[in-house]
Amino acid sequence: MTVHDFKGKVALVTGASRGIGRAVAVALGRGGASVAMAYAGNDAAAAEARALVEQAGAARAVLLKFDVSDPAACARAVDEVVAGLGGLHILVNNAGIALDQLVMRQKDEEWRRTLDVNLGGAFYLIRAAARPMMKARGGAIVNLTSVVGEMGNAGQAAYAATKAGLVGLTKSVARELASRNVRVNAVSPGFIDTDMTASLPEAARQKMAEMIPLGRLGSAEDVANAVAWLCSDQASYVTGEVLRVNGGMYM
């Protein structure tokens, strides 16, 4: 297992109470970062995740409960992290929802909510984080997009639209912030073995695996390893990229 050096760095990870977000927070904590773990609602899962990050070796691990679709809450969260932990060097926008429905049946409020959380949340946090990162003349931002945003999927028009939008956001902000040594990249996971896929029937999981050249679903750690690398100094010349972690499902 590769451990990147994040000593002296402060990270904010959204959707950090479980799944990919939790694995990312653990990976950053393992490198010695101070990690602010944002989550929306599950207090028990968040407390469990915080304990894992502390056990991994984080300098500090703090919980922030807020809705990323609220611009003011995002600004406050960044201010709290900078004031409480001494700066902000890493932002990982992982929080997201999937209100899946065929396009003809998608309700207006479902469409708007998906855009507000998945795309709006990333935008609001990037906007807030840009100032302290530019002032420090350095930083790393990673947005979690999806293979669905690249190839589409029936019944996921809203989700796919937001994830595709994150790619455009990533590339545009990468161009804006590069002169201040702030790198902005995206990671695009494929089918990942999480709580959501664990509840699927075995036949459905097998069908998913058959679509993947490597023949298996990915793990949250597979994605977290890619995110940690992009946040590290080893990726100091990488910006505006979309790193696929999908087992070859989409090339």
3-class secondary-structure state, position 245: strand
Q: Is 250 a catalytic residue?
A: no
Q: Work out the widest C-alpha separation in the chain, in whole angstroms.
A: 52
Query: Cβ neighbours of residue 55 under 8 Å, at least 6 residues apart?
Result: none
Count, residues in the chain: 251
* Measured distance CA(180)–CA(196) in Å, rounded: 39
| DSSP type of residue 62 | E
Catalytic site residue from 39, 159, 237, 250: 159
What DSSP character marks residue 233? G
- Positive or negative: CA dihedral 79, 83, 85, 87: positive
Local structure of 248: helix, strand or coil = coil
Active site residues: 159
